[in-house]
Amino acid sequence: MEISVPNELLHDYQGKCWWCGNTADSREHRYKKSDVVRNFQKDAWKTGVVRVKDASSREEYIQGANSGKLKFAKVLCARCNNERSQAFDRSYDVFAEYLHTEEELIVSAGEVRMSAIFGANWSERTSDLQKYFVKHACCRLAEDRVRIPGGVLDFLNGTRPDLPHMSMEMSINLSVREMTAHLRDVHGIHGGSLWSGPHQVWLNSTKTAIESVNSHFGINCYFLGYSCDMQSNTGGLPLDGDRLEMPSYRPEALEDVDIRDACQDCNP
Ligand SMILES: [Zn+2]
Ligand SMILES: [Zn+2]
């Protein structure tokens, strides 16, 4: 975590599954194997995939198919990791495949239409997609010993239809996108990148409780930011009908930088 949080404000999960409370005996993949395989051809691991100097200092760049960083610590039980979240995983797979194949279209539109991805039952499948993201975020929160609010679990359990506490947003990191294209076109390196930011924690004014925790993770140029506010009763992905906004941005440090100047191969 970014700042040191007093030990008494952290939650001891005592080796139990953060979702159901049984023994946590399963290591969830941080990134789905299909994402890893799709984005990293074998030789891309050796050459190092996307490297963005300076701007990446706050990102953890994940390297190597066998990296331990690709799995969470044991914070879930096998049943929650598999059966209970199967539908979430399936919706995520469909979503990720669409983002991958329609990247040009999505960048220029600045949004995606969930009905175009999921068809008639897009609403239910979008809810499952959000549950996939929530599960990912919860594994990270549990790893960092942040107590997960009960309302978030109610949403995962289907006992409440809306997601409280945890707001999420998606965006497109244009610098990563340009670097990927540069490495491919100039250096013949075909690959993708997986990103994981640290948790940033805000305490309340008397420093007696965690107020909110936020972070992000990314696959190639797509980033999902999340913020878990312990008091808030609202959350979720902001949808306008079936439209999910996906605005593009450049990290501040790379705003006026030609991507060639940020390339480690062009500037050894
Ligand atoms: Zn469980
Ligand atoms: Zn270069």
- Are the CB atoms for 229 and 212 separated by under 8 Å? yes
pLDDT per position as a tens digit, 43-61 = 333 333 334 433 444 445 5
Q: Could you say which ligand is closest to the alpha carbon of residue 53?
A: 2
**Distance set, CA 235 to CA 150, 153, 206 (Å):** 14, 13, 25
Coil, strand or helix: which one is 234?
coil
pLDDT per position as a tens digit, 238-259 = 999 999 999 999 877 778 888 8
Which DSSP string corresponds to 26-71? B--BSS-HHHHHHH--HHHHHHTS---TTGGGGSEEP--TT-GGGB
pLDDT the model gives residue 219 = 83
Q: What domain range is 182 assigned to?
A: 7-262
Q: Could you say which ligand is closest to the alpha carbon of residue 139?
A: 1
Q: Could you say which ligand is closest to the alpha carbon of residue 180?
A: 2
**Residue 2 resides in a domain:** no
Give me the chain's average pLDDT, please: 84
Q: Could you say which ligand is closest to the alpha carbon of residue 189?
A: 2
**Residue 46 resides in a domain:** yes
Which DSSP string corresponds to 90-132? HHHHHHHHHHHHTHHHHHHHTEEEHHHHHGGGHHHHHHHHHHH
**Residue 74 resides in a domain:** yes
Buried b (16+ CB within 10 A) or exposed e, 134-162: bbbbbbbbbbbebbbbebbbebbeeeeee
- Report how far ligand 2's centroid is from the alpha carbon of 185 (Å): 9
**Residue 163 resides in a domain:** yes
Number of domains in the chain: 1
pLDDT bracket for residue 38 (50, 70, 90): low
Instruction: Return the sign of the alpha-carbon dihedral for residues 109, 111, 115, 116.
Output: positive
**Residue 1 resides in a domain:** no
pLDDT the model gives residue 32 = 67
Across 164-188, average pLDDT = 91
- Report how far ligand 2's centroid is from the alpha carbon of 182 (Å): 6
**Which tokens is 257 given?**
């930088």
Global pTM reads: 0.86
